């Protein structure tokens, strides 16, 4: 049997590529002084804007369960990155607002994303990266 018969499928390759990028990003965060942030906290944090975002909206936009968003938000609040407050319009709704530490971390996350994009552009070339984005967007919206 040839090696091609054992070649990993698209799902496996996507997962491996994600893990390689996740590991690189984690190393960057550790070097920047943020060793303890989990993937869910990072995903939640990415959806919080400077003016505040309610947790239900974060869950909807991120595809993370409401319970996991709540747990991550509490962890982020305990670590001093966000403040959770009841909404003025509806006391049942929790708003997440970035603290000054959270804004600093948010800037670092932007650098991590930029670094990843630059790494991919160097590795694949700009044209292939654009093709990859286009294909991933097509998959994500199907």
Supply the CATH number for residue 98's domain: 1.10.10.10
Q: Is residue 4 one of the residues assigned to a domain?
A: no
pLDDT value for 1:
46
- Considering its fold, how many domains does the chain have in total? 1
Q: What is the DSSP string of 84-117?
A: EEE-SS-TTSEEEEE-HHHHHHHHHHHHHHHHHH
Q: Is residue 5 one of the residues assigned to a domain?
A: no
> How many other CB atoms are found less than 10 A from the CB of residue 115?
13
Q: 0.85 cut: is pTM over it?
A: no
Mean of pLDDT over the chain: 88
Burial 13-22 (b: 16+ CB within 10 A, else e): eeeeeeeeee
Residue pLDDT, tens place only, 38-83? 888 988 888 887 667 899 989 988 889 999 999 999 999 999 999 9
d(CA 115, CA 40): 20
Residue 4 above 60 pLDDT?
Answer: no
pLDDT value for 46:
85
């Amino acid at each position: 049997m040839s090696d091609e018969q054992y070649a990993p499928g698209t799902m496996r390759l996507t997962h491996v590529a994600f893990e390689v990028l996740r590991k690189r990003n984690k190393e960057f965060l550790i070097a920047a002084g943020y060793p303890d942030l989990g993937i869910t906290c990072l995903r939640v944090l990415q959806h919080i804007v400077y003016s505040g975002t309610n947790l239900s909206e974060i869950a909807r936009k991120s595809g993370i369960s409401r319970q996991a968003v709540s747990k991550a938000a509490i962890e982020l609040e305990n670590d001093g990155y966000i403040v959770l407050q009841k909404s003025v319009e509806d006391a049942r709704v929790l708003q997440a607002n970035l603290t000054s530490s959270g804004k600093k971390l948010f800037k670092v996350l932007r650098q991590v994303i930029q670094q990843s994009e630059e790494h991919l552009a160097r590795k694949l070339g700009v044209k292939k990266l654009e093709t990859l984005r286009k294909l991933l967007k097509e998959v994500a919206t199907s």
